[in-house]
C-alpha cells in the first residue's frame, strides 16, 4: 500500500463536535466520517481495523463450535409481538411500514429472528446443541448518539445464540462463550475485565459484561481488592448489614428549615450527619407493557444514590426517569426538598425504600410542607412502604458482597455481553424440541454479543497519547509504515522500495509513505495513525547503511543495517502476538 494512493484523509484541526478521544482521533486519522447523527462511514483504514477484530472474533467463535450465518436486518413486527418486545422495546427500535403497509423494524438484536428460524428446523435433541452467530450492522435509535463509534445508532456487532436441551448443557455453552471472549479480547491486545452484569432489556437469569478498562469508560465497575469479585455498579449487590436497631423510637417533631432544600443544607442547619436523613425522590415510570405511566416515590439514605437499573428491575419497568421540580409539585403538591414519605400513602403513589432505611432509627425527612422537616421518623411506625429492596448504588464504604473485603471502583467500556436467557424467548415463541424421553420441552437459550466497531473505539480510548492512536499490533490496519525521507535520492528510494517488497513478501502489512511531504509531516501522520512500527529510511542509509525503527508505543528507537530490518520486524510482530496470548 502506497500512502500517495491510499485514501486516508487526516485532519490537522481537532473536530469540534468530538467529545471523547477515540472520536477525535478516528476523525483526525481519517478512519471514519460522519454521515448523520450516530451514523458513520468506515474509511479504508477504519474498515481495516474493524476487519482485524472480525477475524479474531470469527476464529475464536468457530474454535468454540459456533457456526456463522447471516440474518436479515429488516424484521417483521409480528415476530416481535410474539415476545411482547415490539411495544416494550421503546423508541430505540426503529419501526416503519413497507409499501404493503406491513409493519417492520430495523434489527437492534436478533433473538426473535433466530428463535423463529430454530423452532422451524429443530425437532429433536439429536440436533442439539446449536450455537449460531452473525457479524452484521445493527440499528438502535439512540436519543443522543455521541462519542463516535462508542455510542452510534448504526454499528457492527457479532451476535451469537445458543440452544440446548437443559440447564446443565446451557451452562456449558455459556462457559464456552465466556472462555472464547477471554481469548478474543486477549488476542485484541486489550486490558479488560469480565464483570457480573444486569440482564437489562434482553432478559434472562444471569449475565457477564466484558469491559475494556479506560478512564473515559461509560460504566463504573466495583472490583474487590481481596477476591475475584467484579460487577457493574448497576448490578453490584449490597451486602446486607444487621437490620436490628435497638435505639428507642422518639416522638416525631416538626422543625422549621427555612429555604433548606438540599440534603447538605438541611443537615448543616439541623446539625446532623446525612446518615440520619432519608431523602424522598419521585420517579416517572413507564410500565413493562411500554404504555402505562405512573409515578413512584423512592426513599434512600441522605448520602446514597438511587441505582436506577435496580429500581427498574424491582418495578419491572420499561423505562424510568427522575421527575423534575415542577413535576414533583404537580404529582405531590409539595415543593422539591420538603417531600417526605408521611402523607404520601394517602396519594395514589407507590412508595419503595432502600433496605438501609429499615435499619435507621429516628431519622429526618421532609415534612411535606414548604420550609419544614420532620425529626425522629421511623419506618412502619410512621409510614409504610410497598417494597423494601436493594435500590442504591454500591458506595466506597460497602464491603465486597462475596468476601467482605474492600471494594475499589474503576471505569470501563462495555465491548461484550453474554446472557443466560433460559426459556425467556423459547417459551413465548414456542420453540420446542422432543427430548430422548419423548417429552416436548422448550429450548434453553443463551445470547452473546460483541460490539465490533466499538472495540476499535475502546482500543483507542485505552491506547493513545497526545500525538495520536497507539494501536495494539493485532488491531492496527497495517503493522509497519516505511517513511521514504529522501524521495529524490535514488539510493534511499531504492532501499525503501526494497524493504517494502521484502516485508510484503513475508506477509507483513505495510504502508509506504512515498508522498512528497516534509519529514515532520510524515512523522506526525505516522504517529496519528497509530501504526506500531515506523521505519525511517533517510540520509543515514546512504552514509552509514543504517535504518531507524521507532516503536509507536514507547518511542523506543533502534538502528539497524537495512538487511537486518525484515528479520527484526518479523520477530517484534511475533513477540507482540505471543505476549498477548500469554497474558
**DSSP code string of 231-275:** EETTT-PPPP------SPPPPPEEEE-TT--SHHHHHHHHT--GG
State whether residue 284 is helix, strand or coil: strand
Residues that bind Zn ion in the complex, under the rule CB under 5 A: 224, 226-227, 229, 400, 402-403, 405
Closest to Zn ion by CB, 399 or 519: 399
Closest to Zn ion by CB, 211 or 306: 211
The full length of the chain comes to 583
Closest to Zn ion by CB, 200 or 399: 399
Closest to Zn ion by CB, 389 or 402: 402
Closest to Zn ion by CB, 239 or 540: 239
- Residue 463 near residue 470 (C-beta atoms within 8 A): yes
Alpha-carbon distance of 112 to 428, in angstroms, equals 10
Query: What Cα–Cα distance (Å) separates residue 453 from each residue in 32, 156, 295, 461, 483?
Result: 11, 5, 38, 13, 29
Report in angstroms how near the CB of residue 394 gets to Zn ion at its nearest: 12
Report in angstroms how near the CB of residue 354 gets to Zn ion at its nearest: 22
Report in angstroms how near the CB of residue 307 gets to Zn ion at its nearest: 19
Closest to Zn ion by CB, 249 or 403: 403
Helix, strand and coil in the chain, % to nearest 5: 30, 30, 40
Determine which helix (DSSP H) or strand (DSSP E) holds 128, and give its type and residue range. none
Phi, psi for 225 (deg, rounded to 5): -85, -15
Report in angstroms how near the CB of residue 185 gets to Zn ion at its nearest: 23
Alpha-carbon distance of 199 to 531, in angstroms, equals 37
Report in angstroms how near the CB of residue 116 gets to Zn ion at its nearest: 42
Closest to Zn ion by CB, 1 or 402: 402
Alpha-carbon distance of 206 to 446, in angstroms, equals 10
Peptide bond into 129 cis (omega under 30): yes
Report in angstroms how near the CB of residue 196 gets to Zn ion at its nearest: 12
Alpha-carbon distance of 340 to 349, in angstroms, equals 12
Closest to Zn ion by CB, 389 or 403: 403
Closest to Zn ion by CB, 256 or 406: 406
Query: What Cα–Cα distance (Å) separates residue 244 from each residue in 237, 301, 319, 347, 358?
Result: 20, 17, 34, 30, 9
Query: What Cα–Cα distance (Å) separates residue 198 from each residue in 202, 342, 394, 402?
Result: 10, 33, 14, 17
Closest to Zn ion by CB, 314 or 395: 395
Alpha-carbon distance of 353 to 19, in angstroms, equals 37
Report in angstroms how near the CB of residue 241 gets to Zn ion at its nearest: 16
Closest to Zn ion by CB, 402 or 560: 402
Report in angstroms how near the CB of residue 407 gets to Zn ion at its nearest: 8
Q: For residue 573, give the nearest of 519, 516, 531, 543 by alpha carbon.
A: 531
Report in angstroms how near the CB of residue 195 gets to Zn ion at its nearest: 13
What is the number of other CB atoms lying within 10 angstroms of the CB of residue 440?
A: 10
Alpha-carbon distance of 103 to 368, in angstroms, equals 48
Strand partners, 39: 36
Closest to Zn ion by CB, 37 or 227: 227
Alpha-carbon distance of 253 to 415, in angstroms, equals 52
Determine which helix (DSSP H) or strand (DSSP E) holds 87, and give its type and residue range. helix 85-88
Q: For residue 73, give the nearest of 50, 104, 102, 49 by alpha carbon.
A: 104
What is the number of other CB atoms lying within 10 angstroms of the CB of residue 459?
A: 30
Query: What Cα–Cα distance (Å) separates residue 370 from each residue in 101, 261, 333, 366?
Result: 54, 9, 10, 9
Report in angstroms how near the CB of residue 225 gets to Zn ion at its nearest: 8
Alpha-carbon distance of 79 to 89, in angstroms, equals 13
Closest to Zn ion by CB, 11 or 226: 226
Closest to Zn ion by CB, 224 or 510: 224
Report in angstroms how near the CB of residue 338 gets to Zn ion at its nearest: 40
Report in angstroms how near the CB of residue 231 gets to Zn ion at its nearest: 11
Output DSSP code: residue 44.
H
Q: Residue 303 burial (CB < 10 Å; 0-12/13-18/19+)?
A: middle
Report in angstroms how near the CB of residue 240 gets to Zn ion at its nearest: 15
Closest to Zn ion by CB, 77 or 237: 237
Report in angstroms how near the CB of residue 46 gets to Zn ion at its nearest: 40
Report in angstroms how near the CB of residue 197 gets to Zn ion at its nearest: 17
- Residue 163 near residue 129 (C-beta atoms within 8 A): yes
Amino acid at each position: 500500500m502506497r500512502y500517495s494512493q491510499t485514501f486516508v484523509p487526516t485532519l490537522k484541526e481537532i473536530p469540534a463536535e468530538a467529545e471523547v478521544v477515540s472520536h477525535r482521533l478516528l476523525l483526525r486519522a481519517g478512519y471514519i466520517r460522519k454521515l448523520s447523527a450516530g451514523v458513520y462511514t468506515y474509511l479504508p483504514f477504519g474498515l481495516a481495523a474493524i476487519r482485524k477484530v472480525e477475524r479474531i472474533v470469527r476464529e475464536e467463535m468457530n474454535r468454540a463450535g459456533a457456526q456463522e450465518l447471516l440474518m436479515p436486518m429488516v424484521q417483521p413486527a409480528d415476530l416481535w409481538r410474539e415476545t411482547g418486545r415490539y411495544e416494550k422495546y421503546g423508541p430505540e427500535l426503529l419501526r416503519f411500514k413497507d409499501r404493503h403497509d406491513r409493519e417492520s423494524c430495523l434489527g437492534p438484536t436478533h433473538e426473535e429472528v433466530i428463535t423463529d428460524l430454530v423452532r422451524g428446523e429443530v425437532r429433536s435433541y439429536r440436533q442439539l446443541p446449536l450455537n449460531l452467530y452473525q457479524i452484521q450492522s445493527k440499528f438502535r435509535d439512540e436519543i443522543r448518539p455521541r462519542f463516535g463509534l462508542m455510542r452510534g445508532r448504526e454499528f457492527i456487532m457479532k451476535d451469537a445464540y445458543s440452544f440446548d436441551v437443559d440447564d446443565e448443557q446451557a451452562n456449558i455453552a455459556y462457559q464456552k462463550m465466556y472462555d472464547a471472549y477471554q481469548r478474543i479480547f486477549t488476542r485484541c491486545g486489550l486490558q479488560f475485565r469480565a464483570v457480573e452484569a444486569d440482564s437489562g432489556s434482553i432478559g434472562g437469569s444471569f449475565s457477564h459484561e466484558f469491559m475494556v478498562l479506560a478512564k473515559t469508560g461509560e460504566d463504573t465497575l466495583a472490583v474487590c481488592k481481596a477476591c475475584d469479585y467484579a460487577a457493574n455498579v448497576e448490578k453490584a449487590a449490597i451486602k446486607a448489614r444487621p437490620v436490628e436497631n435497638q435505639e428507642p423510637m422518639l416522638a416525631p417533631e416538626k422543625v422549621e428549615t427555612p429555604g433548606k432544600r438540599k440534603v447538605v443544607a438541611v443537615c448543616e442547619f439541623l446539625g446532623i450527619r446525612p446518615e440520619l436523613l432519608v431523602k424522598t425522590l419521585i420517579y416517572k415510570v413507564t410500565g413493562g407493557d411500554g404504555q402505562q405511566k405512573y409515578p413512584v416515590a423512592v426513599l434512600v439514605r441522605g448520602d446514597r444514590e438511587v441505582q436506577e437499573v435496580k429500581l427498574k428491575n424491582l418495578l419491572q419497568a420499561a423505562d424510568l426517569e427522575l421527575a423534575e421540580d415542577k413535576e414533583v409539585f404537580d404529582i405531590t403538591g409539595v415543593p422539591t426538598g420538603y417531600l417526605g414519605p408521611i402523607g404520601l400513602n394517602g396519594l395514589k403513589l407507590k412508595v419503595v425504600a432502600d433496605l438501609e432505611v429499615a435499619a435507621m432509627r429516628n431519622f429526618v425527612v421532609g415534612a411535606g410542607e414548604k420550609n419544614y422537616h420532620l425529626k425522629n421518623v421511623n419506618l412502619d411506625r410512621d409510614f409504610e412502604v410497598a417494597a423494601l429492596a436493594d435500590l442504591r448504588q454500591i458506595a466506597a464504604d460497602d464491603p465486597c458482597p462475596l468476601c467482605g473485603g474492600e471494594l475499589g471502583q474503576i471505569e470501563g467500556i462495555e465491548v461484550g455481553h453474554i446472557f443466560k436467557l433460559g426459556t425467556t424467548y423459547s417459551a413465548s415463541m414456542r420453540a420446542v424440541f422432543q427430548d430422548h424421553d419423548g417429552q416436548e420441552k422448550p429450548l434453553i437459550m443463551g445470547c452473546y454479543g460483541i460490539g465490533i466497531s466499538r472495540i476499535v473505539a475502546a482500543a483507542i480510548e485505552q491506547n493513545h497519547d497526545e500525538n495520536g492512536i497507539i494501536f495494539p499490533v493485532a488491531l492496527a490496519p497495517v503493522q509497519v509504515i516505511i517513511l521514504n525521507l529522501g524521495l529524490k535520492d535514488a539510493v534511499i528510494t531504492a532501499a525503501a522500495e526494497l524493504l517494502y517488497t521484502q516485508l510484503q513478501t513475508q506477509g507483513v502489512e505495510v504502508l509506504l509513505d512515498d508522498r512528497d511531504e516534509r519529514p515532520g509531516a510524515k512523522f506526525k501522520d505516522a504517529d496519528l495513525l497509530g501504526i506500531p512500527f515506523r521505519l525511517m529510511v533517510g540520509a543515514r542509509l546512504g552514509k552509514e547503511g543504517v535504518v531507524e525503527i521507532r516503536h509507536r508505543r514507547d518511542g523506543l528507537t533502534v538502528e539497524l543495517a537495512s538487511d537486518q530490518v525484515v528479520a527484526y520486524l518479523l520477530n517484534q510482530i511475533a513477540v507482540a502476538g505471543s505476549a498477548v496470548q500469554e497474558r
